[in-house]
Amino acid sequence: MQGKIIKGIAGFYYVYVQDGADTQGKIYECKAKGVFRKDNIKPLVGDNVLMDVLDEEALFGNIAQILPRRNELIRPAVANIDQALVIFAIVKPEPNFNLLDRFLIMMEKQGLNSVICFNKQDIATKKEKQELRRAYESCGYLVLFVSARKRQGMKELKRLLEGKTTAVAGPSGVGKSSIINRLNPKANMEIGDISRKIERGKHTTRHSEIIALHGDTYIMDTPGFTSLQLFDMEKEELKDYYPEFEEYEEGCRFAGCVHIGEPDCKVKEALEEGRISPVRYHNYKMLYEELREQKKY
């Protein structure tokens, strides 16, 4: 029987098997056969597997084979993801744009396209939304504004998720669990309270878990992150993850210009003329400096 690993805890794997297009399906509790340990292969959330059913009534089974993976992410350690949905709040908490750029770089480095979803649009101003759209749509990202509380933007979001397995990423307290509950009320995800004192959410998701929405549409929630370090990257590579620089780079005087201290830099010229977001460029310089310092130690 074929299914998909939707959760793994303490050596047990929970395999979702679709039971017809219009039903919720079944979840089997499985152990992985010893051959995987022998070959140093670890089943991942998102793996499509072949399973031997040991007890149909109790829904117990053994994972017999892991089917070929389309891709494999390192952080979080999951497989067969089609795209990322990066969720931030517009306000309460105020968005940390440096962290947002880190998420986008992390996903792009692993070959995933990202959709940026800003929640809490019902309590944001028109100006706040316009500034966010201007900053990130100019980089080529699709930007979506929703309100989980008011159920706004959910139809468009469902359309973007259709037929894909989507990794949901973002810091705690921005409404990820609320959005997932709107997409699938049966998810019964714990909703975290926002601490009024520090306006930062409590961590409510403690492990990666895939939730079947319907048919071949899945979403995967991941533990909330508060910081992401940019390992395994040379500082000179960073500019390649800022797509808005690309159209100006050929005009720079120096090949390999990193757009910080060099003269006759067309990227800095575009920044001064308002064609590149100052928020994005500021984050770029901060991350470049972080990578430069990192290599000293």
Q: Any binding-site annotation on 178?
A: yes
Q: Any binding-site annotation on 172?
A: yes
Q: What does the alpha-carbon distance between residue 297 and residue 294 come to, in Å, rounded to a whole number?
A: 6
Q: What does the alpha-carbon distance between residue 208 and residue 283 come to, in Å, rounded to a whole number?
A: 28
Torsions phi, psi for 280 (to 5 deg): -65, -45
Q: Any binding-site annotation on 257?
A: yes
* Structural contact between residues 189 and 107, judged by C-beta atoms closer than 8 angstroms: no
DSSP 180-238: HHHH-GGG-PPPPPBPTTT--BPP---S-EEEEEETTEEEEE----S-----S--GGGG
What's 167's DSSP letter? E
Give the tokens for residue 17. Answer: 């098997």
* Structural contact between residues 4 and 49, judged by C-beta atoms closer than 8 angstroms: yes
Q: Any binding-site annotation on 177?
A: yes
* Structural contact between residues 79 and 111, judged by C-beta atoms closer than 8 angstroms: no
Q: Any binding-site annotation on 227?
A: no
Q: Any binding-site annotation on 22?
A: no
Q: Any binding-site annotation on 265?
A: yes
* Structural contact between residues 287 and 102, judged by C-beta atoms closer than 8 angstroms: yes
What's 244's DSSP letter? G
Q: Any binding-site annotation on 171?
A: yes
Q: Any binding-site annotation on 15?
A: no
| Numbered residues of the known binding site | 119-122, 170-178, 252, 257, 259, 265
| Numbered residues of the known binding site for Zn(2+) | 252, 257, 259, 265
| Numbered residues of the known binding site for GTP | 119-122, 170-178
